Amino acid sequence: MHTTESAAARYADIETWSTAQLVSGMIDSQREGLDAVAAAATALARAVDAIADRLGSTGRLIYLGAGTSGRIGAQDGAELPPTFNWPYERAIALMAGGPGALLRAVENAEDSRTAAAESLDALGINPADAVIGIAASGNTPYVTAGLEHARNKGALTVGIINNPGGTVGKAAEIEVLLATGAEFLAGSTRMKAGTAQKVALNVISTGVMIRLGYVYRGLMVEMRPTNAKLRERSVRMVMELTGADEATVRATLAQAGGVIKLATVMLLLKLDRTGGEAALERAGGNLRKALA
């Protein structure tokens, strides 16, 4: 069986390929990454439900990784607050070598079996939290030890790996195997292994947010309209959800402080801001429940 460290015979002479062949070959390899994610659909669904059940109103989603895997996890977590208004303090990325390793590699950091546990303890890891460990090799000591520690503290643990049989998958309560096999460039897991990890994390985090009620009718109703583009998007969303004209929507959004779901409740239930806020509070902030 080929692993991410294997040197595949079909790629043995890529330096002699034409540029067109190189591009085509790398694109085909990326498709294999997507196929590996599709094969892991059952495990991904289990992870989505388990994380959503665990987080509740206080739990944190914590990403744990080294190198490329750690950077991909950090990217996924960083997108949750602007996309879903998920609290920044509830989306945390722990990177082998510390925050500086996100931009510059820190040698040997991934070999530490104590650093992750120390960082988790500093956060006060507890049973309300969910920890996702990501490691292409499946054997990264930093990730393995971190997952073992988190699990001992009662947190939910998910291990995303690209090679079967590793310590990371065994350390986690839920193993997600993305069997991407040999890379186009042997051992370069920033390629299809990284692509598969990115897609898998997109699926998990978006699925969790949907399960938690942060999406309504396929729209990002919790989105923070923090720039001109997003403010215009918020106007279009409220128009679509309510059927109100643009001028009415803009005026209501202004009254609602730019909060999409509040403006939607105000328009559909014909409430002022105080009444809309009360309706959302009774529904636990869930727009669908508030409108029901």
Per-residue pLDDT of the chain (292 residues; tens, 9 = 90+): 678 777 788 888 999 999 999 999 999 999 999 999 999 999 999 999 999 999 988 999 999 999 999 999 999 999 999 999 999 999 999 999 988 888 888 877 888 889 999 999 999 999 999 999 999 999 999 999 999 999 999 999 999 999 999 999 999 999 999 999 888 888 888 999 999 999 999 999 999 999 999 999 999 999 989 899 999 999 999 999 999 999 999 999 999 999 999 999 999 999 999 999 999 999 989 999 999 9
Same domain, 192 and 241: no
Domain limit, last residue, from 159, 185, 211:
211
What domain count does the chain have?
2
Domain limit, last residue, from 185, 211, 237:
211
Same domain, 237 and 113: no
pLDDT for res 248: 98
Same domain, 177 and 100: yes
pLDDT for res 5: 77
Strand 130-135 versus strand 91-95 pairing type: unpaired
Same domain, 49 and 180: yes
Look up the CATH number of the domain holding residue 81. 3.40.50.10490
Residue 222 maps to a domain = no
pLDDT for res 187: 85
Residue 179 maps to a domain = yes
Look up the CATH number of the domain holding residue 266. 1.10.8.1080
Residue 218 maps to a domain = no
pLDDT for res 155: 98
Same domain, 249 and 194: no
Domain limit, last residue, from 179, 211, 243:
211
pLDDT for res 182: 86
**Are the C-beta atoms of residues 194 and 161 closer than 8 Å to each other?**
no
pLDDT for res 100: 86
Residue 248 maps to a domain = yes
Residue 1 maps to a domain = no
Which range marks the domain in which residue 266 is found? 228-291
Same domain, 202 and 270: no
Residue 91 maps to a domain = yes
Catalytic (active-site) positions: 79, 110
Same domain, 187 and 55: yes
Same domain, 151 and 204: yes
pLDDT for res 1: 63
Same domain, 137 and 24: yes
Same domain, 34 and 61: yes
Residue 190 maps to a domain = yes
Same domain, 188 and 110: yes
Residue 146 maps to a domain = yes
Same domain, 72 and 140: yes
